[in-house]
Structure 1
Amino acid sequence: MIRLKDIETRAPEHYDKKKTKKNTRQIAREIGELQTTLFAEEKHALLVLFQGMDASGKDGSAKAAFPYCNPIGLRAHSFKKPTEEEMNHDFLWRVHRHAPAKGMIQIFNRSHYEDILIQRVNQWIDQSLVDKRMNSINDFEELLQYDNNTTILKFYLHISQAEQQEELQERIDEPEKNWKHKTADWVEAKKWDDYRTAYEYSINNSRIPWIIIPADQAWYRNYLVAKTVRDTLQNLNMVRPLLSEAEHKYMKENYG
């Protein structure tokens, strides 16, 4: 049973910030090369979910991991309040159509878990429906795995309450960050304990494990996210397609 209060939100003391940021940039370049192979081979898909409290660094993590990727093979979608059309369908309808095709990386900034997080915390649905939706989420994720060869990385960005408050205040105090400010974020921040409970439920009831990323320090958070993505892509043992001997012979005879 995972309890978030027992998990550190900061980097171990032996990590050097400057070296770690340098390593992250190198890892991001490797991700770019691996993404090209993923796109060319067209046998695997990668779905990357970022969840966490407001100001935990979902946008920043994605920017740090994927700056060298070809945008043709990369998609990102941010799940906001459901539209009227989306509300008139099952809760996974708006999610499934953004699932990645083979050869693609899809980033979810927030995800289908919002429907058992914010809706639960605000008591728009009861626990019985939460449990049913959790089962549906597990089935949905397994469907993507077995039916489309999709690897799913689920990052929970684990920020402390004190750090969240500091990040939200910066959005007020620093003009270049004013555009990020939303009064609603402060309202939701007051429900800290309820959100923690909801996240722990989601993490502990998921069949596909979550990756809990200490998020108080952006440089360490970005490193862990990028390293996990890089290692995951490497473990797919992908190979870029090559021309066959017959194709080489044909090209030489006809165009050589």
Structure 2
Amino acid sequence: MTRYDQPYMPGGFQVMPPAIKAIIIANVIVFLFQNTAFGPFLTTVGALWPIGSQNPGEYTFRLWQPISYLFLHGSFTHLFFNMFALWMFGAEIENYWGTKNFVTYYFICGVGAALINLVATAGNPYPTVGASGAIFGVLLAFGMMFPERYIYIYFLLPVKTKYFVAGYALIEFIAGFGNRTMGSGSNVAHFAHLGGMVVGYIYILIRRNDGSINRMFRKFSLPKKQKGPVLWQGGADDDVSEAEIDRILDKISSRGYDSLTAEEKRKLLKAGKR
């Protein structure tokens, strides 16, 4: 049986797992095409154009844009930092969740970010491009999965992941509403970033509770918080009682995942399997 504290991916931990590699390659290829004669066409049909904008003719929203905009970037710097963040925070998540689950989560966050951004930018004449919405969802998942791990800002200042993610979300929230109220010309899609985190959080909550909305709301009424590295597996099977799982989750909440014994990790993994 695969241990809970070991990667899910076959063959052990992969530094560059397949989904991360494929997404990076696809984004680089599209960016190269953006810098050819095809660039204006790709922006016209693939960027996320706001609904109700004043742009004439072909500069309009199309149904495929909530996906296609994820592969377009405004500059090499934009592309580089997005792909670096995807690898930095996403590789470990894909190793633990598996490629299929990671890809599903990535695109749900990206599409969800697009939909929220469309609501927030209705009537705006400028399009949105970039994978940032999906990547912010990945960042949120990393923060929930490894809340006590340290991130070194500028390679010097250590900050726990949970505080880093919460702070980033607050900054995006303030910046997004600041741009709207003050008419800022910022070209940063703050609502897409925040939308990716919000959609990712809701999706994780639902998956934690076996995909059941009713079960999710019942969990909200309980005083105990359930945290753990495997984010969306919730509920026990026939061999592990719910009381035992609650005890283990309480231990994680109070003392961290590393405080679990090997047997407790095994039970948590077994309870999380569908």
State the TM-score bracket (shorter-chain normalisation). under 0.3
Which structure ranks higher in relative contact order (CA pairs < 8 Å, sequence separation ≥ 6)? 1
Q: Which has the higher helix share?
A: 2
Q: Compare the two structures and name the one with the higher strand fraction.
A: 1
The TM-score with structure 2 as length reference comes to 0.24
